[in-house]
Chains A and B, each alone.
Chain A
Amino acid sequence: MSEQDGSILYKPTKNVGIVGYGAYIPRYRLPGSEVARVWKGGKGGTPVKEKAVAGLDEDVITMSIEAARNALARADIDPAEIRAVWVGSESHPYSVKPTSTVVAEAIGATPHTLAADWEFACKAGTEAVQASIGFVGSGMSKYALAIGMDTAQGRPGDALEYTAAAGGAAFILGLETEALAIVEGSYSFATDTPDFWRRADEKYPEHGERFTGEPAYFNHISSAAETLMSELGTTAGDYAYAVFHQPNTKFPQRVAKSLGFSPEQIEPGLLAPRIGNVYAGSALIGLTSILDIARGGDRVLIVSYGSGAGSDAISLKITERLEDCKANAPTTEAYIARRTEIDYATYARYRGKLSQK
């Protein structure tokens, strides 16, 4: 399956897989009811039950290091052999100065490594994974580390404030011989669709309201998933689990249904109701939750969505190795259970929403 036989899937020269994975979710939770209390007089529904909020001493760098360490623990490899450290986020602490160099240094992957930051709204994490598949599959590197992590911004009072959350996941890609999940094939779909954006030097993003739905999220995820499955010759029924970008609870449920997936197939990866939308880490952290329970032989589909807009779709086949490494790091459920509820005022302080100058 390559360009030679007419397939439009991405398929590297050497077969690649995931050799380690790790999640990180900060402990603080802001219930949707708190946002509704402050901005909506306590009325109306909330798109998620609650969202994860980063603490005062946390940012995309510290959280990426946590997730990367978990991935390393499961991969059980020498970090010096990781020749690419790529962090996808829309909340990089610096505009100029990479997140990835700090992460690479902290985990011991420096100096023989290609450190880089990625940005593509909510799919910056999966595109780092796509690139890692190519980097390892071409033979340029034994391992590559791809991270999707965010401390997402939501304008106070905006609909996004209910969901814009913090968290993400890290994946180490290597050759299939060591893999806990083999990449069967991947595909990316992109168009110029301006549904959500944040201009340089702006603090909060803007969005096109309902335009973010049909022409943006649904069109891109469906197109990417349908193309991948049709090129692989798979159907929804062939997958034990599927995870889609989860900006809220309803969107992934709806797109899953339209693609023929059952609620049971997406339930383990659907974390948005409990942690919110962790943007660049949204689909990836759902995948970590699935890996925590998947068994050898299971097929897993992951499809991300990034505004602007594009989707990355990856088909994975779980190997027996997964069982041996699962317990080497905290499960994603353990992070979700580690929970300290905060009120809106504390949230406003933690997220720097109170102007002190």
Chain B
Amino acid sequence: MTHNHDVNIIVAGVGLTPVGEHWEKSLRELALEAIVSAMTDAGGLKPQAMYIGNMLAPALSRQSQLGALLADFAGMRGIEAMAVEAGGASGGVALRQAYLALSSGLVSTAIVVGVEKVTDRVSNEVLTAQMTSSDADYESVHGVTPTAQAAMLMRRYIFEYDVPRDAFAGFSVTAHANAVTNPNAMFRRAIKPDTYAKAGIVSDPINMFDAAPLADGAAAVILAREDVLPGKLPHPSIRIEASSTSIDAVAIHDRPDPLVLEASKHSLDEAYRFSGYSAEDIDLFELHDIFSIYAVLSLEAGGFAKKGEGWKLALEDQIARKGSIPICTFGGSKARGDTGGATGLYQAGEATLQLQGRAGENQIQDAKVALVQCLGGTGATAASHVLARVDTG
């Protein structure tokens, strides 16, 4: 697979909305805010198709067929629209579907919307719905929760690599520090390593700050084929240089080494190959951090650290905004808030802002290439994208 540079696909608009407990807003209202915001950002460019990333609407909003629902609500009756579900990777996989559609030549402009509405249900219903991302026959049937699964992986990691317990603190501290200046973040207070150390245990060894808060949110990006753009866009063009999704066994026990996220690794390898970039070229990595352990394993999968050494990047402050591989530059799921199937669109939107130089106080200096990846369940689905600035000079 090589990059067909005759077809350049660009991010033409970004719409990010505040993550939080939006008691007063419904699923469609949340989505509409992101849609309107992205379309405004794209200077009114009209999408021909809508791809939606969502994880829990059928269970928590008793609503499927989001394609028709959201496109109609946005006044786009008649266009092609559909929802994609791949657990927490839904947003990234939806982005991939838009990329495929545009690459095919049959679609010239598309909007990709990520939306999640969870606060209309009490927590045990939300948890039950979240657990459907695990293997129902062999995992969730036993009552194991996503938190417990991440805890088992983290415990195994600590055991295998003889890692000190506080090695994970840096991931939470960095995420919270980055969220302070993100107006869309749910938690905008910095925390100290000491705060992390004192936090209550949720599922040993995961503490409160290792876990991301599931919340309501919606984000959207508009993609367009560079060759058919009607005119000049309001903001610098950002190209999608690679798009790749991959899957692994849903159940952790069906993987040869539970501490290797094979889907993540495979999709990132493909993304590197496709784009021609390597780990050294990446200026920032928006990764999946609903639990600290996934951030560590994702960094290892991307070749930013050797197996068993990903945690050291936090220790050396390499994941901070001024580090060698900044991650979760707007707070990630941990501090911005975990929006389930919308996560991939928040990541893509935030990476675009970074590459356009529109990240404000969160700006990574001279960011040219960004890697974006979200995961479904415990890493059974991985959706990776490489975004890069188009240097016209």
Contact = CB atoms under 8 A, between A and B. Distances in A.
Contacts of B200: 43-44
Interface stretch (A17-25, A86-94, A175-183, A208-216): A208-216
A211 B23 contact: yes
B24 interface: yes
B65 interface: no
Interface in B122-148: 122-123
B23 A215 contact: yes
A177 to B, nearest CB: 47
A43 B204 CA distance: 14
Contacts of A215: 23-24
A214 B123 contact: no
A307 to B, nearest CB: 15
A195 to B, nearest CB: 10
* Contact count band on A: 10 to 19
Contacts of B123: 209
Contacts of A206: 122
Nearest to B124: A209
A214 B122 contact: no
Interface in B20-36: 21, 23-24
Contact of B119 (A43, A207, A211): A211
A210 B122 CA distance: 9
A190 to B, nearest CB: 17
Interface string B1-40: 0000000000000000000010110000000000000000
Contacts of B21: 210-211, 214
Interface in A210-241: 210-211, 214-215
Interface in B195-239: 200
A214 B23 CA distance: 9
B24 A208 contact: no
Nearest to A43: B200
* Contact count band on B: under 10
Contacts of A44: 200
B328 to A, nearest CB: 24
A208 B123 CA distance: 9
A63 B21 CA distance: 40
A179 B24 CA distance: 44
A241 to B, nearest CB: 32
A207 B23 CA distance: 14
B17 to A, nearest CB: 18
A206 B121 CA distance: 12
A209 B126 CA distance: 12
Nearest to B122: A209
Nearest to B201: A43
Nearest to B23: A215
Contacts of B119: 210-211
Contacts of A43: 200
Contacts of A209: 122-123
Q: Which of A206, A207, A209, A214 neighbours the largest number of chain B CB atoms within 10 Å of its CB?
A: A209
A208 B125 CA distance: 11
Nearest to A216: B23
A194 to B, nearest CB: 11
A210 B21 CA distance: 9
Interface string B86-126: 00000000000000000000000000000000010011000
B180 to A, nearest CB: 22
B24 to A, nearest CB: 7
A8 B116 CA distance: 40
B281 to A, nearest CB: 43
A246 to B, nearest CB: 23
A41 to B, nearest CB: 11
Contacts of A207: 122
A44 B199 CA distance: 11
Q: Which of B23, B119, B122, B123 neighbours the largest number of chain A CB atoms within 10 Å of its CB?
A: B23
Interface string A24-68: 000000000000000000011000000000000000000000000
Contacts of A214: 21, 23
A210 B119 CA distance: 9
A206 B123 CA distance: 12
A209 B123 CA distance: 8
B253 to A, nearest CB: 28
A206 B122 CA distance: 10
A215 B120 CA distance: 13
A44 B119 CA distance: 24
Contacts of B122: 206-209
Nearest to A208: B122
Nearest to A215: B23
B104 to A, nearest CB: 44
A242 B68 CA distance: 52
A214 B21 CA distance: 10
B118 to A, nearest CB: 12
A98 B122 CA distance: 34
Nearest to A44: B200
A204 to B, nearest CB: 14
A207 B122 CA distance: 8
Nearest to A213: B21
A197 B21 CA distance: 21
Nearest to A210: B21
A210 B22 CA distance: 12
Contacts of A210: 21, 119
Contacts of B24: 215
B187 to A, nearest CB: 14
Nearest to B200: A44
A165 to B, nearest CB: 23
16 contacts: A43-B200, A44-B200, A206-B122, A207-B122, A208-B122, A209-B122, A209-B123, A210-B21, A210-B119, A211-B21, A211-B23, A211-B119, A214-B21, A214-B23, A215-B23, A215-B24
Please give me the 9 A-B residue pairs with the lowest Cβ-Cβ distance, nearest first: A215-B23, A209-B122, A209-B123, A211-B23, A208-B122, A210-B21, A211-B119, A215-B24, A44-B200
Given A207-B122, A209-B123, A214-B21, 4 more contacts: A43-B200, A210-B119, A211-B23, A214-B23
Interface of B: 21, 23-24, 119, 122-123, 200
